[in-house]
Chain A
């Protein structure tokens, strides 16, 4: 495999990718835990490794405004945030998506206030899932580096032209180093064409971006955005094939279907705790217990058909929610209703039972024994052929100590 072997944390890996992608404008503002990305980028700019404008924004809302303007003018941009910084910038997300500016925002996720909690949780950027951005999580520093390149390629594709949330679990991925192969510039040049806008803000070819509309013109613009989100789904597999061809690393387009032991029950997961889950699966196998894992690679666009097909093979699916949505339908988190909608149209004999596990909230690690507990509940539910209850809160369930199968 071509490239340089390094030992990097997730944010440092993204910084390497930004340098290879020849980013033009970066806007910074400090907030834990993503700050390290900007520290890294500022060094690369200061010592001449990366030629970019490094703009010290006055806040997260300002960060997004800056990359919005820069992207509309034809520059490749990067920004980022965590936690309440992500929600502070919220006003800008729809205008950037609707303005079709393929800005990339790197998220090292963090629990939302109140009060201050620096630990990882997916809630911060999941709040913005309706705003029309590409969104997905990286499980390892290598995946974080690769996603940076993949998301620029996807977002900047003229058929899509959408901004992207390049997410990774705070601390678990952003700060814990792992083996990373940093590609060569020639590989990146082949995979990622330069950013070219059809109608930028350019006095040589003037255009007006975003005049006021009458209400009956609203549906047209929104349908256009729905269509391009769909288009993104269409072209993702081809991009993954191209990635494999050039860099030698194969990524499943939408979900990683991990079922080495022909299990009948499956955990549906997003983010870095999938890493621990695979060890749990191996350990359980040695005890004669079979568990599968379905890891989400793209939250947006959500690949309904592919996910339904994969989950239809199981009797019970357990959705792991490292997020919150107080008062939501079925009272788990954000992913349960989406998985339920995904499974809804399956014929009854192919529709698995659905339970949810609230785990990893506040930045707590999901431990091996938590996965054993989840496996036990899945298997018991499969055996009894009915739900004991729909939602389990890991760390609070009374029978968590009893892990006999």
Chain B
């Protein structure tokens, strides 16, 4: 491993202490209120200028770089939706070799893959797994808007049970619309790849927590993974102004659980003292309009078991 890794100062104490510099600047065609765009901004801000981003095809590629221009103040490269993890591994290997052989005189860069849920849990899973298994010194972000959003909100393995998408419309044959339960991507990455030291769940609803998790991950030598819940007004069907509200509601109902596993120590974050019923989350989003009472109960049972499974080691109350 290169000794040139620059250690980012950490942690950021509060919003007021967050760096003012933007590495993800204004001027991109993401939807108004786009959760993934906010995630990108916060992650770029936390990572700072010594960063290379890899952008697999998805909303954060197409919407950000339409047309012939980029909103990134740091180097960035487009990858296929299939190979974000692979291309990033190559960038990492190149810098390891070039620095060691004296062909590059600068510091080892932060290397971050900004993949969507499809590009990290589905079509891109193999490449991400390869990168994690080989423990390249990089960070894979899964900005999870719970669908293949860029192509028009199609179902992905991260789409919640019961969510309508354009491949899972509700109807008489499948009244619950989506009948598969989502993959547990963070667990899959952590428990499946023994060299990975750091994984986390984060959300745009808690920006300082997200930024600190990014810095912690980047300061680790080796592969890290952060799964960022990124509310999507278009896909989930709610008014764009409520993006942060949705992110927080997911935490308050247990539909999203924030945690990190740092060198074997698991810590839950933002655990509500009392969970709100999932119905409060489901009723705010048009993609769940068709749910019957029995579907809501199924979702509640699933969330309850996930919350129980989480077995907090140490929790910070919200």
Contacts and interface: CB of A to CB of B under 8 A. Distances in A.
| Chain B binding surface, main DSSP class | mixed
B314 interface: no
B93 A75 contact: yes
Interface in A55-98: 55-59, 61-62, 64-75, 77, 91-92, 95
Interface-centre pick from B50, B62, B90, B101 (highest chain A CB count, 10 A): B90
A205 B74 CA distance: 8
Nearest to B110: A203
B227 to A, nearest CB: 20
A92 B83 contact: yes
A210 interface: yes
A58 B127 contact: yes
Contacts of B100: 51
Given A51-B100, A59-B126, A75-B98, A208 B70 contact: yes
B75 interface: yes
Contact of B126 (A53, A58, A194, A213): A58
Interface in A173-230: 194, 201-214, 217
Interface residues of A, number: 47
Given A211-B68, A217-B67, A66 B93 contact: yes
B24 to A, nearest CB: 12
A25 B73 contact: no
Given A55-B134, A95-B80, A212-B62, A206 B94 contact: no
A52 interface: yes
Contacts of A57: 86, 130
Contacts of A67: 90
Contacts of A68: 79, 83, 86-87, 90
A25 B96 CA distance: 9
Given A62-B126, A74-B104, A204-B106, A24 B97 contact: yes
A319 to B, nearest CB: 35
Given A58-B129, A58-B130, A74-B94, A217 B51 contact: no
A356 interface: no
Interface-centre pick from B62, B86, B91 (highest chain A CB count, 10 A): B86
Contact of B90 (A22, A55, A214): A55
Contacts of A210: 65, 77-78
Given A69-B89, A203-B52, A58 B133 contact: yes
Contacts of A212: 61-62, 65-68
B293 interface: no
B238 interface: no
B75 A203 contact: yes
B90 A70 contact: yes
Interface string A41-60: 00000000001110111110
Contacts of A52: 97
Nearest to A217: B68
B120 to A, nearest CB: 14
A74 to B, nearest CB: 6
A206 B68 CA distance: 15
Contacts of A69: 54, 77, 79, 86-94
Contact of B86 (A22, A66, A203, A213): A66
B49 interface: yes
A201 B69 CA distance: 16
A27 interface: yes
Nearest to A206: B75
Nearest to A59: B126
Contacts of A77: 90, 94
Interface in B92-142: 92-98, 100-101, 103-104, 106-107, 109, 126-127, 129-130, 133-134
A147 to B, nearest CB: 23
A53 B101 CA distance: 11
A69 B129 CA distance: 17
B206 interface: no
A206 B80 contact: no
B165 interface: no
Contacts of B91: 69-70, 72-73, 201
B201 interface: no
A194 B89 CA distance: 22
B76 interface: yes
B224 interface: no
A73 B126 contact: no
Contacts of A64: 83, 86
Nearest to B78: A210
B93 A53 contact: yes
B72 interface: yes
B243 interface: no
A252 B100 CA distance: 39
Given A58-B127, A214-B68, 20 more contacts: A22-B101, A24-B101, A25-B97, A61-B82, A62-B86, A66-B86, A69-B79, A69-B91, A69-B92, A70-B94, A73-B52, A74-B98, A75-B94, A95-B80, A206-B73, A207-B75, A208-B65, A208-B72, A208-B77, A210-B78
15 contacts: A55-B93, A65-B90, A68-B79, A68-B86, A69-B86, A70-B90, A70-B97, A72-B77, A72-B91, A75-B97, A201-B76, A203-B51, A206-B72, A208-B70, A214-B67
Nearest first, the 8 A-B pairs at minimum CB distance are A65-B86, A69-B90, A211-B65, A58-B130, A208-B70, A65-B83, A210-B78, A75-B94
